[in-house]
Chains A and B, each alone.
Chain A
């Protein structure tokens, strides 16, 4: 008989963890390559094509940073909730609601002369909408422990229908030839660009928010409460923290950040509301969180990595006509692979022959 079992490692280090995660990602790329091969694409030439396109062109890097911007925000949004053992699977919906509210501001006040206030108002509306969109799941999670995974996720479907309602209804641009898109926003509604590079300042906002959350969690008294509740929900009862209020607050901040991502994508990239402004960025936030183990600074790095998958998917779509679904396939495989690999950081796989 051959016995296969796990034996606890005597010591585990950060180095082992990182090495194992890298192995898991390489494994995921190989496994993803199998699927590429089944649809008649040589995975190795596809991968090298992606790398050479990204790293030999200026636009490749720019595109990478552009895609990274919403992913940093949805990533930190999910990660913040995860710090309290809460799941925000609804970042996609909050993203859309943020964009939706900002669009309302742009369409309502865009024509008026006061262009200086337009962008701040759009941001305010978007952030508020994102926070409110998670309120119902947050409230019922806090007070009745209603499953936050399912409620936040179902809100995504409602959000997308709501966006459709506006796009196919009163917001549709009469000159759009019946496409479900709004009119282009006035220039005052566009996010400023960073000098010398084709990238909007949303990227910097993303970094700033992550640092803010980092210091908030590490240095503030409030952050200590979050860690207490997250690490030991029962201890929180005795430490005098109002757990219910904290759950609602943290989830609403999480929603607000996802809403912010929506406004940034709207004002920095699309300049009008249309369908599919999020390519599932909210869901990608979950992977970013998992890869970084909810550590804010890890979010920056892993948002970069996931942006690579998105840009890679886009390049494959343009050069070989591979459907965008490829991106979700890769994300699923990567998450599976990294999840499965985690055990090896703590345990060794042992194979023993017995008589």
Chain B
């Protein structure tokens, strides 16, 4: 049976949401962390740590909830290293993030080596009542797996938390003017630690999405650069959870299109198609930066990347 053009597009978009979900979790994690003023370039490593942890736990317990929680916990613990080094020990956030990526790549490659070839059962899609009967939208967004629904909730919660609560205002202030926060009695340390670690946990959940849904197996470097796409998307999304969602699905669509085009007979080499999401990321980053430069009010957190020490203004 021939698939019609509409059907084909829907298939691509359904998989765009799936492909976009780990990137969305990663971007959300980056948004929380960077809003508090701390860059996390360790996302690729954290995703790998999350992916391996969830795979191991699922393999031995069979429980997805345990697997994803473990991924969040272990990724959070690894992010603690980053927080310790660049918040308490005042080191470069950039170098520390790169160290985290190396560490994550290494530790997942080392401990995951013996697990290559094993598989776990993939997570089933759940039809949401009523919502799934909306034409097109229902099929694309509401006939997905539980982790996709969790990502929707996460976007809503983080959006609300960051922009409509006192805690969120405080977190954002940490990224704009930590010295002011300090002077009114807020603990910059506590807020930044919390934001970075919660952010890292989100990234870990994004990593868990790979073995839970996308692949069902573990292989070295499973995340294949998606963590870096998430790093770029934080900027593309202007540090906003809602735009992060849009951006993640855009890139999900790019990846899904790349995979679909490989299946049908076209004359483009799969190796060129593999470059496509990365080229698109570079273009998106350039456009976003130029747009950001043109805005009168800077969107980027003003103190992003700067360590804070009390009483040491220069």
Contact = CB atoms under 8 A, between A and B. Distances in A.
Contacts of A286: 95, 98
Contacts of B94: 87, 149
A339 B95 contact: yes
Contacts of B224: 157
A150 B102 contact: no
B279 A158 contact: yes
Interface stretch (A110-118, A188-196, A325-333): A325-333
Nearest to A5: B310
Interface stretch (B9-17, B164-172, B198-206, B286-294): B286-294
Nearest to A283: B102
Contacts of B95: 286, 290, 335, 339
A18 B95 CA distance: 19
A107 B24 CA distance: 44
Contact of A339 (B99, B101, B113, B290): B99
A326 B232 CA distance: 28
B110 A325 contact: yes
A157 B232 CA distance: 14
Nearest to A346: B90
Contact of B103 (A158, A165, A169, A336): A336
Interface stretch (A139-147, A215-223, A239-247, A264-272): A139-147
Given A136-B282, A333-B103, A336-B99, A343 B235 contact: no
Interface in A209-266: none
Contacts of A158: 275, 278-279
* Chain B: interface size category: 35 or more
B89 A342 contact: yes
A186 interface: no
B144 interface: no
Interface string B95-138: 11011111111111111010000000000000000000000000
Q: Majority SS of interface residues in chain A? A: helix
A290 B94 CA distance: 11
B274 interface: yes
A201 interface: no
B55 to A, nearest CB: 15
B110 A39 contact: yes
A161 interface: yes
B109 A325 contact: yes
A323 B286 contact: no
B85 A336 contact: yes
B271 interface: yes
A200 B232 CA distance: 40
Top 10 nearest A-B pairs (CB, nearest first) are A325-B109, A329-B106, A332-B103, A328-B106, A332-B102, A165-B271, A335-B99, A339-B91, A323-B113, A340-B89
11 contacts: A39-B111, A146-B286, A155-B278, A157-B225, A161-B274, A162-B275, A165-B269, A169-B269, A328-B103, A332-B99, A333-B103
Interface of B: 41, 45, 81, 84-86, 89-92, 94-96, 98-111, 113, 220, 224-225, 228-229, 231-232, 235, 269, 271-272, 274-275, 278-279, 281-282, 285-286, 289-290, 293
Given A155-B278, A162-B275, A283-B102, 15 more contacts: A35-B110, A151-B286, A158-B279, A161-B274, A162-B271, A165-B271, A325-B109, A331-B102, A332-B45, A332-B102, A333-B103, A335-B99, A340-B91, A342-B89, A342-B90
